[in-house]
Structure formats: structure tokens, C-alpha cells
Structure 1
Amino acid sequence: MTTHENPEGSTTPSTMSYVTSFDVAAPIGEVFRVATRPVLWWGEMIHGSSNALGDRFEWNVPGQHFNAFEVTEYAPGRRCAWTVLASGKEHEADEWVGTVVEFTFTSAGNGTAVTFEHRGLTPSLECYDMCSRAWNYHLDVGLRAYLDGETARPLTYGTIDDVVATIGSSGQIE
């Protein structure tokens, strides 16, 4: 995976969002199908639907992290985006509220290039280092692994402690 920061109309580090990209051998339709079903690759703590425009889902790691998402873009085979909503629930990652998680898919050789951007997740946020490490982890051992035919390791209630140790912890899983 290639990770870099993406300028959002400015070259100052505080306005650079987290971006990463990787290629997989899977066809673009399958990549889109799997990416838009985060319970398959991100974690069993996903509740709700993410299969159509306007769908809503939650990422809820009890006692650790909570965020609600709405599917705000759904263009099969090309792009999907989830906007993080304010919920007021306990353990909400406030820094994420209003940010946008976006996938872009393009054909690449015999497979698909995936670009992932968490727009608004910038180095000026306290959680940036931990969140970017967590995204790297989930995208690599979850989404990329699943699409490359490897055993995907989405977060489960039984693996929380191991994942925290793997990505380094400030007490939260992102």
C-alpha cells in the first residue's frame, strides 16, 4: 500500500487528508461490492447497511470508539463515500464528525486500483497518527487481503486487544 497526504486546496500540513492506494487482482465490480460491505473487512462491530445511497451504519467498538456513517455517494464500480454523522453517543470519535471516507476504483492491468481517502482526517487532529495507522491496518489485513484471496482479518470482539497492540494504542481503536 502506498500512503500519502493529499492537499485540499492548500499545502499546509494541517489541511492534508489521509490517503492511501493499492492494487488488487480482483475485478472492479467485486472490489466495489466488498468495499461497500465493511463488515466483511473492517469489523464485526459494523451495524446497519452501506449498500445504497442514503444507507446508514455504525462502527461501535463498545467502550472504545463509536461513529455513525451515511452513504453519501454510491456510484457502482467507480466511487462510494460515507459521511461521518454526529450522534452524541458515548465514545463518539468527535474529530471524525463531518469528515468523509471515500473509495475510488479504477481499472489497473488485470485488476483494480483502490484509492482510499479519509477527507478531514488531517495531521492537525489529535487522532491522526493512531487513525492513519488503524486505517493502514484495516485496509491491508482486511480489504486488500480479502480481495487478493487471502484470509481477511476484520476486527472481532475477540481480537480487539491484539489489534490495539499491533497498531499502537492511545486507548482507542480507530
Structure 2
Amino acid sequence: MQKGSYTTEYTVDVPVDDVVRAIADVRGYWSPSTTGDSEHEGDEFVYRDSALMSHFRVGEVVPGQRVVWDVLESRTTFVDDPAEWDGTRVVFELAPDGDGTRLRFTHEGLSEAKECFNACSRGWDGVINDSLKHLITTGRSMFDE
């Protein structure tokens, strides 16, 4: 992990397999308009909104332990270098914690030296700490409510 990468962590009272299923459901917590597949190694998907386009490949899935997405291409409209995310990695690390699961999310390469660090960190806070956590703990997407 690169120093200064964005990281957030929490524990949920949900079995690890349910957390892994929720992570793979990017339409359920990131955006219903996300295209492509995100469940198995080699799957590719694209997230797009007015400020960001990111093309990911699922680079690694270790059942019950780890999911890694590689950023193949990105375009961010609000920074000088629109390809800041290119070559970075998104890592979900999972570990049993009592009857639940500890989830540690890291966007490796999204360092404090990057122009978008503050805005992108706030974005990940909403996606991971709010929307994904809601999907994990309720089994329902915030988009459906």
C-alpha cells in the first residue's frame, strides 16, 4: 500500500460471504448505471457520472478475504490530470470479527499528493461508509428506497 492512500475500515454484524456479495454488487451501492460485470476475476465494469469515468478490472478475488479492482482507465473532470486514477488499485480486505466481518477499504495510489485526494476521499466516504455499508447491513440498495 502506498503511503497516504485513502483507507477506511469498519465492522459489520454480517457474515463475510454476504459482505463479498455486496461488494460485487456495484450497481447496488455505487450507481445503478454502472455497466459491465464485477463478480469474478477478469470481469470489467465502468462507473460514469458527470465528473468521473472509471474503467475497472476485477484483478483478484480471494474468497472471504480479499477483492481487488485495477483501474484501467479514468477521466476526472475537476483536476488538471484527468487520468490521476489510472494504474491505481482498489482493495477490499475482509476478516472475521466475532460474529461479523471487518472490512478495510483502500484506494492504493490515491495519495495525498494527488489533486483529487480530498474530493475523491469524500466521494469514497459516501460510497463505502454510507451506501455499501447500508447494502451490507440491510440487504437493500439505497437507490431502491
Match of 2:17 among 29, 37, 61: 29
Displacement of 1:110: 1.4
The match for 1:124 is 113
Aligned-pair Cα RMSD in Å: 2.2
The match for 2:138 is 149
Q: Distance in 2 between matches of 1:106 and 1:94?
A: 32
The match for 1:66 is 53
Match of 1:44 among 32, 57, 69: 32
Displacement of 1:75: 1.2
Query: TM-score, structure 1 length as denominator?
Result: 0.74
Residue identity opposite 1:97 in structure 2: D
Q: Is residue 134 of structure 1 aligned with residue 128 of structure 2?
A: no
Larger RCO (CA within 8 A; separation ≥ 6): 2
* Greater shift in the superposed pair: 73-82 or 145-154: 145-154
Q: C-alpha deviations, 1:48-106, integer Å up to 9, x for none?
A: 00111111000011x3210100010011211010000126x795941111000010110
How many aligned residue pairs are there? 141
Q: Is the 8 A contact 1:25 1:147 kept in 2?
A: no
Match of 2:4 among 6, 16, 25: 16
Uncovered stretches (5+) of structure 2, i.e. residues with no partner: none
Question: Kindly tell me: are residues 39 and 137 of structure 1, through their superposed partners in 2, closer, same or farther at Cα, counting changes over 3 Å?
Answer: same
Query: TM-score, structure 2 length as denominator?
Result: 0.88
- Percent identity, aligned pairs only, is 30
Which one has the largest radius of gyration?
1
Q: Distance in 2 between matches of 1:113 and 1:96?
A: 26
The match for 1:169 is none
